Amino acid sequence: MAEKKEDAWLGIFTQPLTDNLAKYWGLPEEGGIVVSTVLPGSPADRSGFRSGDVIVDFDGHVISAKQDQEVSTFQKIVRESPLEEPLSVQLMRDGEPMEIRLTLLPKPTIGRDAREFEDDSFGLTLRELTTDARIPMNLSSDVNGLIVRRVKSGSPAALAGIRPRFLLMAVGNTPISNIEDYQAAIAAAEEARPREIRIFCRVGANTAFFRLQPRWDD
């Protein structure tokens, strides 16, 4: 059985170029894909896409979307495009035509597919930080950690002041980038059994340390 091909990923949020938008920007009313957001670290970001660009041709496919339901055709073209091969994109920027060369990458894990880990010792449920979660949290691609999904009432984490939607970035002196990092840090703590563990989190635009006091079994 042939191995399933991975979906290609561009890394933009889009909307169709409606006739009203085209008139407002002084563009031909021929449709297209308007780039509304460029995800940090994505192929689109690395190749120089900007918010407000209008894609009119993607690797030889004319793009003429004018309605929301037509955006899915563009998304299908991107998904089925070859990975790690140079592609050409024709677009309009500030009313002027230009070409961008880019290379697509495999689609990363998104929020609904992210792994979670429930830590009974500290009372935390943590989720992987996915690319689509970075935008509402205003996180650049170099910021890593795990999203706090739930905190058990009365647990050591709750008593320390840790709350849902915090980004857990370090346990003691150990940086946390994924669930495996966290599991290893907790395993080391369970062996050492310190009276207190410092948890470093991002809280909105700020960062803070939280003093967690574990309840080790006798």
Q: Where are the domains of the chain?
A: 8-106, 111-212
Contact 156, 176 (CB under 8 A): no
Output the CATH code of domain 111-212.
2.30.42.10
pLDDT digit string, tens, across residues 145-204: 999 999 999 999 999 999 999 999 999 999 999 999 999 999 999 999 999 999 999 998
Strand partners, 101: 88
Query: What would the mean pLDDT of 12-35 be, rounded to a whole number?
Result: 93
**3-state SS, residue 130:** coil
Structure tokens at 96: 């002027």
Predicted pLDDT of residue 140: 73
Q: Is the pLDDT of residue 114 over 60?
A: yes
**C-alpha of 14 from chain center:** 16
Outline where DSSP puts E strands in 104-182: 105-106, 116-119, 124-128, 146-151, 167-171, 174-175
Query: What would the mean pLDDT of 118-138 be, rounded to a whole number?
Result: 86
- Kindly indicate the confidence band of residue 113, based on its pLDDT and cuts at 50, 70 and 90: confident
Query: What would the mean pLDDT of 88-107 be, rounded to a whole number?
Result: 93
Q: What is the fold, at CATH topology level, of the domain defined by 8-106?
A: Pdz3 Domain (2.30.42)
pTM of the model: 0.62
- Kindly indicate the confidence band of residue 138, based on its pLDDT and cuts at 50, 70 and 90: confident
Chain position carrying tokens 């909307």:
15
- Kindly indicate the confidence band of residue 111, based on its pLDDT and cuts at 50, 70 and 90: low
Domains 8-106 and 111-212 share a fold: yes
Chain position carrying tokens 């991002």:
202
On average, the pLDDT of the chain sits at 90
Q: Is the pLDDT of residue 18 over 50?
A: yes
Contact 104, 78 (CB under 8 A): yes
Query: What would the mean pLDDT of 49-69 be, rounded to a whole number?
Result: 95
